[in-house]
Amino acid sequence: MAAVLPAVVEQLLSEMAAAVQENARSTGLRSLKFLFGSSATQALDLVDRQSITLISSPSGRHAYQVLGSSGKTYTCLASCHYCSCPAFAFSVLRKSDSILCKHLLAVYLSQVMRTCQQLSVSDKQLTDILLMEKKQEA
């Protein structure tokens, strides 16, 4: 049960992957910018700076963490679209005017471009990472 991205986004992501292969990133980037605006450049920047980490565990369950430009780390679930950043909460959930925040877009880009840091943790550690996103009770 994979998350379903709109077909056009899937298409653009594959074109981006192809463009990267041919050293023609700027072409792929142009289409992404059309759809995502400045988030596209910021997302690509995050990929270039190796800011995305795939955290995997022996159970096979995994999650992503993205080191944002502010220095804060956000957790993203790739199986469905979720990011813990405030921009996701605001523009994607409340205003419903963006499909993805730049961190989620960076995660998908790093998937198609096959470039991201890898971190293996134990099952218990992954539980703690996922739980940490639940705000601490006051």
Number of residues in contact with other proteins under rule CB under 8 A: 30
If one asks whether residue 77 binds other proteins (CB under 8 A), the answer comes out as yes
If one asks whether residue 79 binds other proteins (CB under 8 A), the answer comes out as yes
The enclosing H or E element of 29 equals helix 25-36
DSSP for 30-81, please give it: HHHHHHHTHHHHHHHHHHHTT-EEEEE-TTS-EEEEEE-TTS-EEEEETTTT
If one asks whether residue 45 binds other proteins (CB under 8 A), the answer comes out as no
By CB under 8 A, which span of 2-10, 24-32, 66-74, 112-120 interacts with other proteins? 2-10
By CB under 8 A, which span of 28-36, 43-51, 55-63, 64-72 interacts with other proteins? 55-63
Residues 6+ apart with CB under 8 A from 118: 53, 54, 56
Q: Which residues bind other proteins (CB under 8 A)?
A: 1-4, 57, 59-61, 63, 77, 79-82, 84, 88-89, 93-94, 96, 123-124, 126-127, 130-131, 133-135, 137
